[in-house]
Amino acid sequence: MMYSKKVAPDSMTFEALAEENRRLRKIIDALMDRVEYGEAGESSAYGVFQSTVMLENLVRLRTHELEAALERNEKIGRDLQHANEKLAQSEDGFRNIVDNAPIGMSVMDTSYHFALVNRAFCNIVGYTSDELKNLTPLTLTHPDDLALSLDNFERLITEDISSYQIEKRYIRKDGEVVWVQLTTSLLRDTQGQPIHFVAQMQDITERRRSEEQLRLAATIYNSSNEAMMITDAQNTIVATNPAFTALTGYAADDVLGKNPSVLSSGKQDKQFYQAMWETLAQHHYWEGDVWNRKKSGEVYAEWLSISAVQDDDGQVQNYVALFTDITEQKQAADLIWKHANYDALTQLPNRRLFRDRLEQGVKKAERNGDVLALLFIDLDHFKEVNDTLGHQAGDDLLVQVANRITSEVRASDTVARLGGDEFTVILTDLADASRIDRVAQALVDSLAKPFQLGNQEVHVSASIGIIVYPDDARDVHSLLKGADKAMYRSKSEGRNRFTYFGR
């Protein structure tokens, strides 16, 4: 607590002169009484007169000195009053500065009781200044930090240190724990005896909470099984975690300062990455599976998620990428999809995938104004091969048939096995219908050639039905139905030939 003491003027000179003046007046009065009552003779009267004159002069002198001393004393009083006013103003100013300081400030006596606290200190601990008069900083201290506080107080008193700074916890009035950064020093009197502890503190709860969150994030970052990579706004790699190295084979020093394209496998085209960056720019997040390349050159599949980190102004500061190796899952999913969409014997698309390809082909032809042809192929005399040579020979024959059909069409066309000895061909992107005839005749000729099944030479042929979009039909159902009818016409007309639905 701050103290002030008003100073009184030095009144000793004034009082002494006043007393002397009173004494002289008494002497004069006594002399005058003697004259008045005739207690002296003529000579004595003259002596009394002389004494009186002398005393009057002395009184005048003392009175003048008294008046001068009084004037000086009044001036000293005025000066002291002005000084006291200045001191009070200075003390009030100091109190105002302390009370409005943005950090907590306190003064404690040597028994650790609070003598002065400011407003910020009260706000931090949740107590009023009156409530704090009955408390000590030790009663506010978290039990786990009490020993540290006592130790530092003791070190101050024994002059091991002149001040100390620590981070500790206080328990607020409402029970909430608050972290503070505390700086404490000890004031001593002229004899070196301790008189007051002076402390200032700042609430660092949010900072400690942020630090704890950062420590947690760092722990997750370093211990996560998920590979992490951080780039700056220019997409330059600035950090990676251990899981990144374990997955890609690249140490942090191998990739820091480089573009993530160092991992690119080349399996994604420019359009893929353009779409990815457009999504990031719009939604600040993207996820999907990509194929990347390890340091060893091995290509692997990963599930990748990218988040854009923005500052308070909405500007992108970093991109955080998390990814895991999904090669095995991808392979398993691909295998399941292949089993669902491909014929196990010939490795050609099955009925399901064929139907999907046909639907997509019709949509594309409609969109681009193209011609599409659907060919149904049914082997002639296949049942005889199965019956005479067995099912294994029949399977071998189907595989060879599939290979011959595939060799007569483009990679962009679709060859499928619907089941048994039924095959289909979807011819797309036809500039004119003349190519249909060429392909159909090539298939008839190729499949009429002998097949070698072990030591046996086998002859079969093919009956082919053809339907054309958009001339003969404009929807999938009609195309399938028309091609099937045309195929049966080829069989009924002697086999080993192709027939158009609309002719």
> From CA 486, how far away is CA 490, in angstroms rounded?
6
> From CA 145, how far away is CA 464, in angstroms rounded?
92
DSSP string, 335-381: HHHHHHHB-TTT-SB-HHHHHHHHHHHHHHHHHHT-EEEEEEEEEES
Spatial contact of 445 and 337, defined as CB atoms under 8 Å apart: no
Tokens coding 326: 């999904």
Tokens coding 483: 């091609």
Average pLDDT over residues 331-338: 92
Spatial contact of 48 and 36, defined as CB atoms under 8 Å apart: no
Backbone phi and psi for residue 113, each to the nearest 5 degrees, phi listed first: -85, 145
Average pLDDT over residues 238-251: 94
Domain boundaries in the chain? Answer: 12-95, 104-208, 227-330, 342-500
Spatial contact of 460 and 398, defined as CB atoms under 8 Å apart: no
Task: Name the CATH superfamily housing domain 342-500.
Answer: Reverse transcriptase/Diguanylate cyclase domain (3.30.70.270)
The pLDDT-based confidence of 8 (bands split at 50, 70, 90) is: very low
> From CA 466, how far away is CA 503, in angstroms rounded?
10
Predicted local distance difference test score (pLDDT) of residue 43: 47
Instruction: State the chain's mean pLDDT as an integer.
Output: 86
Secondary element (H or E) of residue 72: helix 42-99
Predicted local distance difference test score (pLDDT) of residue 86: 57
DSSP string, 207-267: HHHHHHHHHHHHHHHHH-SSEEEEEETT--EEEE-HHHHHHH---HHHHTTS-GGGGB-S-
Secondary element (H or E) of residue 498: strand 497-500
Predicted local distance difference test score (pLDDT) of residue 495: 95
> From CA 165, how far away is CA 89, in angstroms rounded?
32
292-297 long-range Cβ contacts below 8 angstroms, 24+ apart: 292/248, 292/263, 292/264, 292/265, 293/263, 293/264, 293/265, 293/266, 294/247, 294/248, 294/249, 294/250, 295/248, 295/249, 295/250, 295/254, 296/249
- Tens of pLDDT, residue by residue over 100-143, are 788 899 999 988 899 999 999 999 999 999 999 989 999 999 99
Share of the chain above pLDDT 90, in %: 67
**Measuring CA to CA, how many Å separate 67 from each of 23, 206, 426?**
16, 70, 133
Looking at the DSSP assignment, which residues form a beta bridge with residue 286?
306
The pLDDT-based confidence of 80 (bands split at 50, 70, 90) is: low
Is pLDDT of 407 > 90?
A: yes
- Tens of pLDDT, residue by residue over 352-386, are 999 999 999 999 999 998 999 999 999 999 999 99
Is pLDDT of 464 > 90?
A: yes
Domain 104-208 identical in fold to domain 227-330: yes
The pLDDT-based confidence of 162 (bands split at 50, 70, 90) is: confident
Predicted local distance difference test score (pLDDT) of residue 32: 58
- Tens of pLDDT, residue by residue over 443-457, are 999 999 999 999 999
Spatial contact of 408 and 438, defined as CB atoms under 8 Å apart: no
Give CATH for domain 227-330.
Answer: 3.30.450.20
Q: At 96, which amino acid appears?
A: N
- Tens of pLDDT, residue by residue over 22-74, are 766 676 666 556 555 544 445 455 555 565 556 566 656 666 665 666 576 56
> From CA 333, how far away is CA 35, in angstroms rounded?
144
Task: Tell me 285's DSSP state.
Answer: E
Spatial contact of 228 and 322, defined as CB atoms under 8 Å apart: yes
Predicted local distance difference test score (pLDDT) of residue 2: 39
Task: Name the CATH superfamily housing domain 104-208.
Answer: PAS domain (3.30.450.20)
354-358 long-range Cβ contacts below 8 angstroms, 24+ apart: 354/414, 354/416, 354/418, 354/424, 354/426, 355/476, 357/414, 357/416, 357/426, 358/414, 358/426, 358/476, 358/479, 358/480
- Tens of pLDDT, residue by residue over 263-286, are 999 999 999 999 999 999 999 999
- Does residue 153 sit in helix, strand or coil? helix
Predicted local distance difference test score (pLDDT) of residue 76: 62
DSSP string, 383-441: HHHHHHH-HHHHHHHHHHHHHHHHHTS-TTSEEEEEETTEEEEEEEEESSTHHHHHHHH
Q: Tell how far CA 350 is from the center of its chain.
A: 49
DSSP string, 126-150: T--HHHHTT--HHHHB-GGGHHHHH
